[in-house]
Amino acid sequence: MRSPLAQKARNRGNFLAGCRSKAGPFTASPFMNQPSDKHEARLARFIRGNLAAILQHWDAFARSIPAARHMPAGRLRDHAAGILNAIADDLDQPQTPQEQADKARGRAPPHDAGTEAGLHGAGRMSAGFTVNDTVAEFRALRASVMRLWDERGNGDADLTGEDLIRFNEAIDQALTESLQAYVVEKEHITHRFDTLLSATPDLHFIVDTDGHILYANEALAHLLGTPAESACAHRLHDLCPAFAAQIKRDLRAVAETRAVGRGELRCVAADGAQHTYRYVIMPVLAADGSVDALTGTARNISELKASEAKILRNAYYDSLTSLPNRTLFRERLDHDMRHAARTGFALALLFVDLDGFKEVNDQLGHDAGDQLLRQCAQRLLACVRATDTVARIGGDEFTVILNEIGQVAVVEMLAGELLSELARPFSIAGKQVQLSASIGISLCPQDGRQPDELLRNADQAMFVAKRAGRNRFSYFTSAMRDSASARLKLIDELRQALARGELTVHYQPIVELAGETIVKAEALVRWRHPDGSLVLPERFIGIAEETGLIGEIDAWVLSQAVPCALRLAELSGTPFQVSVNKSPLGFMSRLVKNSWERDLALLGRAGSRIAIEITEGVLLDDSPGVRAKLARLQQAGVQLAIDDFGTGYSSMAYLNKFKVDFLKIDQSFVRDMLTTKPDHRIFAETIIAMAHKLGLKVIAEGVETAAQRDWLRQAGCDYAQGFLYSRATSEEGVAQLLCAAGR
């Protein structure tokens, strides 16, 4: 017979439906628990009679599971009570020897998915229980029954081995049903989750901390070009190789800081279209607080980016010429003037007004006028550097911002080039159109420290140029014009200096710090001006570069330095090297006349007795022409030195790529490193250490005190050059120093 409690449990609806099935998940042996047996179903009767006490024991344990702490008592106990009643029913069921053997081997007959144990597993999955939590509940049920059996005085009535086997099999069978339902429910949830995430065009993913994909929705799998089930063979940065370093960095940052990571990347879809994605990455934390995985989502914002770009372009660019409009021009002028104030470089503003544009517009029509403005814009752009700004601020008015102007002559040369370009005929509507322009120039800071002031003064200077006859440029002040005249005079005198024999070469010794011996010298050009003064390079080299004379001067200095190096080497009886400065324009500008074949013939005679000093900008240019010239110098046996190192933006990769031999620490780092600017010591130490790591030697310029020399020697610097040893002197002066040193 069924006990009243068992019958009541059968009437509780769906929760006990599985326990009422005819096959039943739990069956019993006909040789156990029969009414005539001494131990007739006593464990089943004990469970039913002490259900409340057993559940109280079990409840205390269940509350220790994090997911169960806030669960209502009724919901927490319902499944446990149902499982215990089902186990008691099972203990009362007859069981054949074959059934018992099958059950012992884990081959119990299939059971109804709606059993109380199955409902328990599915419910626990939905409630956030882990598998370990679910298994622990069944262990607690087993322990609660056994403990209460002993506490209620049943210890002297030992259970038979068959009782325990039946009870443990029933518990294990219930656990199996629970876990099977748990897994099925988890698979259902995962499927629903995947269906949900794959219904959106957004990319969704879960990765481990190394970026290996654990889950990818359909959209991400499509972008990777693989089926969703094969996505786990990829890593997240395979999505976009161009942004692989960024993705790795962001994943590592989220894993280390546990903070949400955000970013954007561009990738190419299977159809070749480019897309921009904005992504969010979040950490998945384990119970112990460690990062178990990383999850994220990425949204295609290509249309948003395109819309933003269009809005931005309309707000800041002229729709006709695509040049910056007045708004963007004002912002850039303000920014560039602030930069000029910080760096000390001059800035020039050119106000360009077309002469005769109104007549063309009136005669040929507005369409022709628009075409003419577009062509003018292109010609202006072709004349300036990428760092400069050409803007259209109205009608036929343009402005040009020239940044970091070292010499006023640069402005004059550009203004002249702009005038020449705009004076060339235009082909408009099948007709040749001739124009000119008037240009006003104002300089920052002398002509204005505020954008409005500088623009106003350039505008006024433009009107002066128009009144003076058009097709010309004018400075804002007469003082500037006077300065320009003086500069033109200096240029004319420099053009004649070589022919008149006014240039001379001096040599400044370079000392090897380890032995305090002179082993090198730098060739430095001087100009003996007709007025009797000695003009130093800083006054005329810039002008020579601007006018294209630098190629002739460099070639002449080299022609003096090569035989000098040979003579000094013969005098000293040991290798002696002379370094010669080579202007960057000699490598990069097509306007400078070069005599490379003649220079290489000279250098072939000298070999390593000559070192060519270049600036960092030559390496950064990295054009085919520059690479070819540097290669030819090195093939001739010439060594390369980077002059004024640390003041530019050289990349370490270029030092190896071009096989540089020496770095010269700029004298600005040496001058104050022991007094007012101790941080310069850090720069010097860094340069020395870096150079030695790359196999380069280091020369310190501007050494004037014994303290500087001692510090540089201690820091590992190889060579020193400066007034402490000698000023630049003639070849005879260097020879005397060598003889005095016993060389």
So what's the pLDDT on residue 106? 56
The pairing of strands 436-444 and 431-433 is unpaired
Which amino acid would we find at residue 1? M
- 663 versus 128: the higher-pLDDT residue is 663
Average pLDDT, the chain: 82
CATH class of the 508-521+557-742 domain in this structure? alpha beta
Evaluate whether 341 touches 404 at the Cβ level (below 8 Å).
no
Does 729 score more than 90 pLDDT?
Answer: yes
So what's the pLDDT on residue 20? 32
Evaluate whether 233 touches 226 at the Cβ level (below 8 Å).
yes
- 142 versus 98: the higher-pLDDT residue is 142
- 301 versus 106: the higher-pLDDT residue is 301
So what's the pLDDT on residue 104? 62
Nearest to 282 by CA among 206, 172, 377: 206
> What dotted CATH number matches 42-195?
1.10.490
Architecture of 200-306 per CATH?
2-Layer Sandwich (3.30)
Q: How far, rounded to the nearest angstrom, does the alpha carbon of residue 103 sit from its chain's CA centroid?
A: 63
So what's the pLDDT on residue 98? 75
pLDDT (mean) for 710-725 = 95
pLDDT, tens digit, 9 for 90 and up, residues 325-335: 999 999 999 99
- Tokens 């009243």 sit at which residue? 4
CA distance 362 to 357: 9
Does 483 score more than 80 pLDDT?
Answer: no
So what's the pLDDT on residue 105? 63
So what's the pLDDT on residue 450? 92
- 196 versus 738: the higher-pLDDT residue is 738
Evaluate whether 19 touches 89 at the Cβ level (below 8 Å).
yes
Does 271 score more than 70 pLDDT?
Answer: no
The pairing of strands 291-300 and 274-285 is antiparallel
CATH class of the 317-476 domain in this structure? alpha beta
Burial of 478 (0-12, 13-18, 19+ CB in 10 A): exposed
Using pLDDT thresholds of 50, 70 and 90, give the confidence band for residue 373: very high
So what's the pLDDT on residue 109? 63
Using pLDDT thresholds of 50, 70 and 90, give the confidence band for residue 22: very low
pTM exceeding the 0.95 threshold for the entire prediction: no
So what's the pLDDT on residue 30? 34
Evaluate whether 451 touches 337 at the Cβ level (below 8 Å).
yes
pLDDT (mean) for 661-665 = 92
pLDDT, tens digit, 9 for 90 and up, residues 278-319: 999 999 988 788 888 999 999 999 888 888 888 888 889 999
pLDDT (mean) for 486-496 = 85
Using pLDDT thresholds of 50, 70 and 90, give the confidence band for residue 25: very low
Percent of the chain scored above 90 by pLDDT? 32
So what's the pLDDT on residue 158? 62
Q: Which residues pair with 442 in a beta bridge?
A: 349
So what's the pLDDT on residue 40? 47
CA distance 74 to 136: 19
So what's the pLDDT on residue 309? 81
So what's the pLDDT on residue 2? 36
Burial of 170 (0-12, 13-18, 19+ CB in 10 A): buried
Percent of the chain scored above 70 by pLDDT? 87
Using pLDDT thresholds of 50, 70 and 90, give the confidence band for residue 136: confident
Q: What are the DSSP calls for 381-423, one per residue?
A: HHHS-TTSEEEEEETTEEEEEEEEE--HHHHHHHHHHHHHHHH
Domain boundaries, given as residue ranges, for the chain: 42-195, 200-306, 317-476, 508-521+557-742
Burial of 294 (0-12, 13-18, 19+ CB in 10 A): buried
So what's the pLDDT on residue 376? 96
3-state secondary structure 601-666: HHHHHHHHHEEEEECHHHHHHCCHHHHHHHHHHHHCCCEEEEEEECCCCCCHHHHHHCCCCEEEEC
Lowest mean pLDDT among 349-353, 404-408, 411-415, 653-657: 653-657
